[in-house]
Amino acid sequence: MPVPARVDRGVTGVPRRTGRRRVEPVFHWFLLPTLLLFTVLVPLPALVGIFYSFTDYVGFGRWSFTGVTNYRALFTDPAVLDAYKFTLGFAVVTVIVTQVVALALALGLTSRIRFATALRTVFVVPMVISAIVISYVFNYLFSTTLPDLATSVGFGPLEQSVLGDPHLAWIAIVLVTAWQTVPGSLLIYIAGLLSVPGELYEAAALDGASPWRRFRSVTLPLIAGFVLINTVLGVKGYLNAYDVIVALTGGGPGTSTSSVAMRVFSGYTGGDYAYQMANAAVFFVLTVLVSLLQVLATRGRSPRP
């Protein structure tokens, strides 16, 4: 266990604490297995991938250095550029949908309604279900159930699966992703709303403020830190979208819903390993920039308990 701070009696002989705590060296050995696993599983493979991004390596056999050829090709490849456009657009739209729905639900579940606790439990259920399972269920609904229902009522636009329409498939992906990720944002918003003092609402009501004015002038400013956290976490998570898209559309129709993560993964089996490693390196830089924006945006704005 940590040794208490060393007592220094100084020149006068009066005991005083130095403020430094000495840690037993044995504790550092407990960190070694975790540090080794982290190094082997995260930084080392990343460095190897970056190294191969400057070669013509196809995943096996010989290779030779090609410099920045792969990086130059990335910025002129329509398929890669479309993947970035889809990924960024998908992340922005899904964040907006998720935060609006989660905040609306949080407002309802923190108001004085019956069975609020039970309803909170029900709304959290999607978060604990595998994304693959959810996606395959919705795939069946979009491909079979919804078209059959639309045909029975004569609603033409939905008689064909939306997953087969390059202009509508992305909407299905947004809906399924939001359905699964809303609970996580919901829990954060509930924590933020419960931290707002009730006296502020009572004072605003006495001043004649309408419910909308109370939300805009009292609630929203006080939970701004929670909104920021949900937004940043959402963007970072949706940039890595993969499993939901694979299970719903497989990146189709064509390549209309192909994400950057899917493009990178295709390098393992498509014979363009080095090219997709360059793509992964560029995507890593983009993620780092998002992280830096997170640090700058959240500095001094963390939510208060």
Mean pLDDT over 145-152 rounds to 89
In which band, very low, low, confident or very high, does the pLDDT at 201 lie, cut at 50, 70 and 90?
confident
Mean pLDDT over 132-154 rounds to 90
* Main-chain dihedrals φ then ψ at residue 55, nearest 5 degrees: -125, -175
Give the angle 30-33-34 at the CA atoms, nearest 5°.
90
Q: Which CATH class is domain 79-298?
A: mainly alpha
- Flag whether pLDDT at 1 surpasses 50: no
Query: Structural domain boundaries of the chain?
Result: 79-298
Mean pLDDT over 136-144 rounds to 91
Q: Are 177 and 241 in contact (CB under 8 A)?
A: yes
Q: What percent of the chain has pLDDT over 90?
A: 28
SS3 of residue 8 by DSSP? strand
Q: How far is the C-alpha of 183 from the C-alpha of 126, rounded, in Å?
A: 7
pTM above 0.85, yes or no: no
